[in-house]
Amino acid sequence: MALFRDHAEKVFDWIVALALFALNVLVFTQVVSRYIFNSPISWTEEMARILFVWICFMGTFLALKTKGHIAIETLLNTFVGAKARGYVTATADFLILYYCIYLAYMGVVMVHKTTQDFTPVMLIPFSYLYVAIALSGTLMVCYLLMRAFSLERKTLIISFLASIALCGVVYFIFGRGGFTGGNLVAVMLVSFFLFIVAGMPIAFALGIGSTQFLLLYQQVPLVVTHTRLFGGIDSFPLLAVPFFILAGELMNLGGVTVRLVALAKVIVGHIRGGLGMVVVVGEYFFSGISGSTIADVSAIASLLTPAMKKAGYSSEDTVSIVSSATAMGILVPPCIPMVVLGGITGISVGALFMGGFLPAIVISLCIMALIYYKAVRAGMAVDKKATFKEAVKATGGAIIPLMLPVIILGGIIGGAATPTEISVIAVLYAFILGKFFYKEIPWSEIVPILTRSAIMTGSVMFLVGTASILSWILSINQIPQRIGELIVHFSSSPFVFLLLCNLCFILIGCVLEGLPAMLILVPIFLPLTVQFGVNQLHFGILVIASLGIGLFLPPLGMGIYIACAFAKLDIGKSIVPFMPYLACLIVGLLIITAFPWFTLVLPGIFFK
């Protein structure tokens, strides 16, 4: 049985990997036919979107199986003992099981409802798209049942009864009428918070909380769950997400980090505190390649932590420098949260990319000033300046990978292609660079890279889909308007409004991580930018910057845990030494908040 399961898993990995490969081929074919042969193929975009939806939902299943969904387990692990934690986790799994049964059932309902609805170009029934939801839900149900029956009998029975009791209590109290939509929104948000504390993946917490609201509200058809879930994912601009993820995976394995750090050493390595500054400059370069903050902190920390310790930096300072630099790096394009933000708000992704450059430099200079001050105060030695030969060698090694962001931004700014089309070119460039130029990506890694990218895509996009349901619920209950009235009552100043936004995104981003926090809060605050006269592009960059800080805010920020793991440092020992660096991040954030020019000047030049 185990052998059969292993073979089945490998076959499924290959299917998902081939699907992502086919998606790349489709979009690349579209790019070639449109821009080289000037003869666009009408069906490629439609077929790409269909394939994208299937990859998203199959990736959702794989992410559940491999624990690839974003979850916050810190609180549960800290405050709950191992035995009780087992009961809580098993109870949460049963709630996810019920939700997946609902997903599968309603997926089948939607298949029947859409058999006579066809796509405009290829005339493919929409039911084929909803089959992906039904199949994904069914696969997740099977997996969760297998996991449930692998539990000890006592844990299985107690957690099952606890899950049934929870559902019964909620329905008995709130499901018999008499409650307004606002009351039920409060119940939904409390449930969502409790699910998060219990360690449930955030995407499922959002989905279960939203479904709970619809079941209790009883004034909206339940098919809203699937139409909003599908509508949140089915977007051509969001097709760029898997391509940037894949390009980052290829670059991470392609030997790029070492070459970019070598260039950073040439630029700032000879300044007092130079190795610490190398982390900041190297992160600025590398973030423009990887597109993922978690990939950044892992790559930079693994490469530079041993060197910094050898040079005399304490573990505490090493963690602080790596964390603050990576918190800044989220602003350097390409950035996956920027792609998602553009997809859900309509803000130009290209303008967001250009808008991040100068704010990242402002925050970098604040961090580097602190590094220099501490190095002078500690009397740290100064490394010799690189020779001309060393500078040429380092520049030559880094210039090729640095061409990737140039290609991305050049294509978008020049109007040559959309971000989605440019992202697939980035994948091709990253593959050729890592496989044939640097020769550091073996053929045996191609399928795992594609599979990991599909899993991350499923994790991200399922989160986007469930968050779109929550956003719709908040909208119909006028939650953004009520929050706006509350803020206006407090102050009518745009600057105060932005400060409150910064604070909310930092704190919520610390607890929920960047993407979930953005998907939950942006639909609430974005409508208020019109009321306060705030430029939405400026608002978007502040959102990204605040989320970057939140990701490393101790003691809950996931990023600082990763940095501590590489430095072999207890998280408790990193908090006090990190405070001066956190202050630098906050000062940089305040500067770009008070002076929108840093955000708007480059988009104003290139996107007139």
Residue that wins the pLDDT comparison between 52 and 228: 52
- In terms of pLDDT, which residue wins out, 501 or 82? 501
Average pLDDT over residues 360-381: 87
* Buried-exposed string 205-232: b where 16+ CB fall within 10 A, e elsewhere: bbbbbbbbbbbbbeeeeeebbbbbbbeb
Residue 118 β-bridge partners: 125
Residues 6+ apart with CB under 8 A from 373: none
Mean pLDDT of the chain: 84
pLDDT, tens only, 152-178: 888 899 999 999 999 888 888 887 766
Name the helix (H) or strand (E) containing 366.
helix 349-378
Using alpha carbons, select from 187, 262, 236, 215 the residue that is nearest to residue 342: 236
Give me 298's structure tokens.
């892992």
Work out the percent of the chain whose per-residue pLDDT is above 90: 20
Q: Which is nearest to 126 in space by CA: 238, 20, 230? A: 230
In sequence order, the 6+-apart residues with CB closer than 8 A to the CB of 444 are: none
Q: What angle do CA 65, 521, 597 make, to 5 degrees?
A: 120
Residue 143 identity (one-letter amino acid):
Y
Quick one: which of 64, 350, 93, 113 has its CA closest to 227? 113
Report the candidate in 376, 421, 343, 596 with the shortest Cα–Cα distance to residue 494: 596
- Burial environment of residue 323 by CB neighbours within 10 A (0 to 12, 13 to 18, 19 or more): buried
Smallest Cα–Cα separation from 552: which of 228, 297, 347? 297
Whole-angstrom distance, CA of residue 202 vs CA of residue 205? 5
Give the pLDDT of residue 391: 82
Euclidean distance between CA atoms 536 and 529, whole angstroms: 7
Give the mean model confidence (pLDDT) for residues 216-221.
82
Nearest 5°: phi and psi at 223? -65, -15
Please give the single-letter amino acid code of residue 330: I
Residue 338 has pLDDT above 80, yes or no: yes
- Among 206-210, 471-475, 508-512, which range has the highest average pLDDT? 206-210
Distances (CA, A) of 197 to 72, 76, 77, 91, 190: 7, 6, 10, 13, 11
pLDDT value, residue 173: 84
Domain-wise residue ranges, the chain:
37-234, 239-446+456-606
Handedness of CA 429, 434, 439, 445 (dihedral sign): negative
Is the bond into 125 cis (omega within 30 degrees of 0)?
Answer: no
Q: Is the pLDDT of residue 1 over 70?
A: no
What's the rounded Cα separation, in Å, for the pair 513 and 524? 17
Which residue from 233, 235, 237 is spatially nearest to 421, judged by alpha carbons? 237
Contacts of 602 (CB under 8 A, 6+ apart): 354, 355, 357, 358
Q: What angle do CA 414, 416, 422 make, to 5 degrees?
A: 105
Strand partners, 125: 118
Distances (CA, A) of 309 to 263, 276, 312, 350: 20, 11, 5, 39
Do 56 and 462 form a contact (C-beta atoms < 8 A)?
yes
pLDDT-derived band at 498 (thresholds 50, 70, 90) equals very high
pLDDT computed for residue 232 by the predictor:
80
- How far apart, in Å, are the Cα atoms of 246 and each of 75, 421, 449, 572? 32, 14, 7, 35
Cα–Cα distance measured from residue 418 to residue 236, given in angstroms and rounded to the nearest whole number:
10
User: How many CB atoms lie under 10 A from the CB of residue 579?
Assistant: 12
**DSSP line for 502-515:** HHHHHHHHHHH-HH
Q: What is the amino acid identity at position 288?
A: G
The secondary structure of residue 332, as a DSSP letter, is S
pLDDT tens digits, residue range 505-564? 898 887 776 778 888 888 888 888 888 889 999 999 999 999 889 888 877 777 777 777
Is there a contact between 303 and 258 (Cβ–Cβ < 8 Å)? yes
Task: Scan for tokens 């500054």, then name that residue.
Answer: 277
Q: Which two tokens stand for residue 420?
A: 């989605």
Axis crossing angle, helix 514-532 with helix 336-345, rounded to the nearest 10? 50
Band (pLDDT 50/70/90 cuts) for residue 140 is: very high
Between 261 and 369, whose confidence is greater?
A: 369
Contact between 45 and 120 (Cβ < 8 Å)? no
Give the C-alpha separation, 246 to 447, whole Å.
Answer: 11
Nearest-angstrom CA–CA distance, 103 and 434: 40
Distance CA 466, CA 204 (A): 8
| Coil, strand or helix at 292 | coil
For the stretch 246-289, pLDDT in tens is: 887 887 777 777 777 778 878 887 778 777 888 888 888 777 66
Amino acid at 416: A
CB 516 within 8 A of CB 463: yes
Query: How far apart, in whole angstroms, are the C-alpha atoms of residue 30 and residue 460?
Result: 25
- Encoded amino acid at 63, one letter: A
pLDDT band at 410 (very low <50, low <70, confident <90, very high): confident
User: What confidence category does residue 582 fall into, taking pLDDT thresholds of 50, 70 and 90?
Assistant: very high
Closest CA to 401 of 487, 286, 483, 294: 286
> What ranges in 69-201 are assigned the alpha helix state H?
74-79, 82-113, 127-149, 153-174, 181-197
Q: Are 144 and 174 in contact (CB under 8 A)?
A: no
Angle between helices 202-217 and 514-532 in degrees, nearest 10: 60
Q: How far apart are CA 87 and CA 94, in angstroms?
A: 11
Q: Which of 449, 398, 410, 442 is nearest to 427 (CA)?
A: 449
